Chains A and B, each alone.
Chain A
C-alpha cells in the first residue's frame, strides 16, 4: 500500500496545485514533495533487504487479458524510489528564488512526473511499466517546451519523437512476451514481470527482443549513438526540468536494462551484450572528450552525464555482481551529483545571465558558500574517494574490468577525462580575473544553501558509508545474478 501512496500522492497533490493560484504554490509543492520524501524514506528504512517485493499492491486491471495493476518495491528499485523522493524536493526548493510563468502548471507537471517515475521503478507488470515509462514523458515534454530556451520547440519535439519511437519497440516486445506466457483457463496470458522471467524464448526471439528493449532504453539513457537528442534538450530545458531529466529520468533506461534485458533475454545478452558494452564505452570516451571542448556549462554537464551513464550501462552489461551493484549505487550518486551541478549552473546563470565559461571567472572572491558546495559536488562527480561518485565508479569499473580488461581500461579513462573537464569548468568559472558579469556576484541565498546542504550530506554519506545503500540492494542483485546464470545455462 505504501507504494500505491507513493504513486498516487503526487498525482493528488499536483491536481490540487493546478487549482491554486499565485506564488504560494511553491510552498505547497515543497510540502507535497517533502511528504513524499518522508514516505519514501520510511519505506527505505523499513525495507527488509532480501529479494522479495515489498509494500506492494495488486489489483486486476484488464481482466480479459489477465493484466494486473501491480507494483511494489524490491531490492532493485528501492534506491531509485528513494532517489525520486529525494531529488524532487530539492528541485522544487531550487526554484524558490526564481519565478516561472503559470507556476501552478509548472509545479503540477513536476509532481505528475514524479508519480510516473515512481510508477516506472515499482511496476511489477510489464504493461504498467510501459504505461508509466511513457507517461513520464508527457509532463517533462511540457515542462521543457513551455518554459525552455529560445530553441525549445524543435529541440524538445525531437526528444519526444525520439523517445516515443524507441518505446514503441519496447511495446512490441512486451506484447510478444505476453503472448509467450502460458495461458490458463481463467486468465489467457500474464504480463507480470516475474512471468516474463520464466519464459524460455528461442535464441532468435531473444535476439530481436533484446534489440527492441535495448533501443528503447538506449535512447532514454542515452547510449551512443542514440544520444543526439540529449545535449540540446538538456540545454534548452529550464533547469528544474533538466534536473529531472538527468537526475532521475535517464535512470529509467538503466533500470530497464537490469529489470528486463538481463533476466528476460540472457541469450540475447550473451550474443549482443558485447556490442552494447562497446557502444557504452564509446559513449563514455566520446562524451568526455566532447565535454572537454564545451564552453557552455549546461552543455558540459550534459555531456558528462552522457559519459557517466555509459559507464552504468557497461557495468550492467558486464553481468557481474559488482557491476550491477555499482550501477544501482551510481544511479543514486549520479542523481545527487548531477542535480547539484545543474543547480550550480543555474545559480551562476541567474546572476550573470550567461553560462559561457569565457564570460565568467573570479566568482570565488565573493562567494565562499557557493565555492565550497560547488567543489564538493564537483569532487563527487569526478569520483574522488570518500565521495559518492567513487563508490559507484569503483564498482562499475571493477565489473567492466572483470568482463574484459581492455574495455575496463578504456572505461577507466572516464575518471581522468572527468577530472579534466570538471576542474577546467571550476577553474574557468570560479578562479581567474573577474569579468564584467561576475564583479558583484552575490553568494547563495538561504534557500539556495538549503538545496545544497542535504545534497552534500548525501555525497559524503554514500562516499563514507556506502553500506547503508549497498546492503539493501545486495540480496536482490545476488539473486538476479544467480537467476541469470541458471536460465542461460538451461536454455543452451
Chain B
C-alpha cells in the first residue's frame, strides 16, 4: 500500500520538477522515486495487511509482483534517456504518468474488491492511452492511441458490465464474498455469475492481449514510441496476469470446471495466433508485439492449469519475460535511432526491421550479446530464465494432465525459435553497416544487469524461491 501513496505523491512532485529549466534532474529523480517505492514495498514483508476498508491486500505474493512491476518500470525509465535530447518531448509529464500508471498496476496486483480492480485497470489504461499517443507529430502514434483508446474503452464497458452482473448474482463486490457464493451454491449457480465471469475475463484478457482479443496489440505496440511499448508489454502484462490469477484462484476456484475449458481454448488460440503471425513479420517491433501475444498464451497455460505451482510459475514467468523484453526493446531503441534510413523526402525514418540488426554483434558485442540472451530467453532455450519460465508453466499443465494443450504449446515454442533466431542470425552471421553504435555507460549497465539476471536465473532458478 505504501508504494501506492508514495508513487502518487512522487508523480505530482515530478510534474512540478518539470517547471525547472533543466531537464537533467528528471531522470535521476524518477529513478530515485522508483527505488524508494521498491524499498518501502518490502517493509511489510512476511505480513498480511488489508487496506482501505478491505479493498486492498498486501502479502508476500503481491509484494513480489509489485517489485517485478516496479523493477520493470525502473529499467524502462533508465533506458529512456533520449527524452532529454528530444525537443518536442515532455519528460516531466511522461515520467509522472508512468508513476501514476504504476499506482493502477499495483492496485490490480492486490485488489480485494472488484471496484478496486476496475479503478486499477482504468488508471493503468488511461495512462497507456496517453503514452501511446505521446509522439504527437507521428501519424502512426496518433492512430495507435486512438485505436487503443476506442477498443480499450469498449472493453472497459464490458469489464464493468461483468462486475455488475457478478454483483447481481452474488450480492458482493469482494473476492471473498464471490468465493463464498461460487463455492457454496454448487447445485444451482445463477447464470448471471457465469456471464459476469465471462465478461470480466474478456475485459482482462483484452488487457493482456490474449486472442481473440489481441487485434489491437500489433498496431498499438508498433505505433507507440518504443520505450512505452517496452513499458506496456511488461508492466501491463504482469499486472493483468496478477489480476487474472487473483480473480480465478481466489473467487472462482469453485467453478474451475466451467472456466478452464474456455481458458484452455483461448490459450491454444493465443499461442497459435501469436506465434504463427510473428513468423511473417518483417519489422522487429511488430514481431515483438506478436511475441508478446504468444507469451500471454504461455502465461495463460499456467492459469488454465490452476494448481499449487501456478503462483510460482506466474511470478517466474513474468519476471523472466519482463527482463528479456525490456532488454530487447532497449537494444532496439539504440539501433533504430542510430541506424535510421533516409526516405526520398529526405526525412529520417527510424529502422525497426530485422535488417537493422545486421552485423550488430561485430560492431558492438555487448549489444549483440544482450539481445541474443534476451532472444534465447524469450525462445525458452536452457540456461536462460525464459527456459525455467516455460518449464514451470509446462509442469503446472502436466500436473493437471492437460497434455493436448501442452503439445500445442510445445509445437508453438518450436515455431517461436524461428522468429527469435532471425534477430540472432542478423546480428551474428550477416554483414551490416559498419559505423559503431554509441551506448551511454548507464544504458550499458542496465542492459548488462538484465543480461546477468536472465542468465543467473537460468542457471539458478531456485534463487527466486526464497522470496515467497
Contact = CB atoms under 8 A, between A and B. Distances in A.
Interface residues of B, number: 28
A142 B381 CA distance: 14
B258 interface: no
A152 B429 contact: yes
A146 B410 contact: no
Interface stretch (B212-220, B324-332, B411-419): B411-419
A142 B372 CA distance: 11
A457 B378 CA distance: 47
Contact of B429 (A146, A164, A179): A146
Nearest to B382: A134
Contact of A138 (B381, B399, B410, B413): B381
A130 interface: yes
Residues of B contacting A: mostly: helix
A160 B421 contact: yes
B312, B406, B421, B462 pick with most chain A CB within 10 angstroms: B462
A60, A153, A168 pick with most chain B CB within 10 angstroms: A168
A187 B398 CA distance: 18
Q: How large is the interface on A (under 10, 10 to 19, 20 to 34, 35 or more residues)?
A: 20 to 34
Contacts, number: 73
B395 A179 contact: yes
Interface in A115-157: 127, 130-131, 134-135, 138, 142, 145-146, 152-153, 157
A178 B395 contact: yes
Given A134-B382, A138-B381, A145-B428, A62 B395 contact: no
Given A60-B462, A64-B465, A131-B383, A153 B407 contact: no
Nearest to A65: B395
A161 B418 contact: yes
A171 interface: yes
Nearest to A162: B414
Nearest to B412: A168
B398 A175 contact: yes
Given A60-B462, A146-B429, A175 B382 contact: no
Contacts of B78: none
Interface string B417-441: 1100100010011100000000000
B67 interface: no
Nearest to A166: B414
A145 B382 contact: no
Contacts of B381: 134, 138, 164
B465 A175 contact: no
Given A153-B429, A165-B414, A175 B395 contact: yes
Interface string B453-468: 0000000111001000
B394 interface: yes
B425 A145 contact: yes
Given A138-B376, A168-B410, A172-B394, A179 B399 contact: yes
Contacts of A171: 391, 394, 410
A176 interface: yes
A152 B460 CA distance: 34
A286 interface: no
A61 interface: yes
Interface of A: 60-65, 127, 130-131, 134-135, 138, 142, 145-146, 152-153, 157, 160-161, 164-165, 168-169, 171-172, 175-176, 178-179
The 3 A-B pairs with the shortest beta carbon distances in the complex, nearest first, are A134-B382, A165-B414, A168-B410
Given A60-B462, A134-B387, 5 more contacts: A127-B391, A134-B381, A142-B428, A157-B425, A176-B403
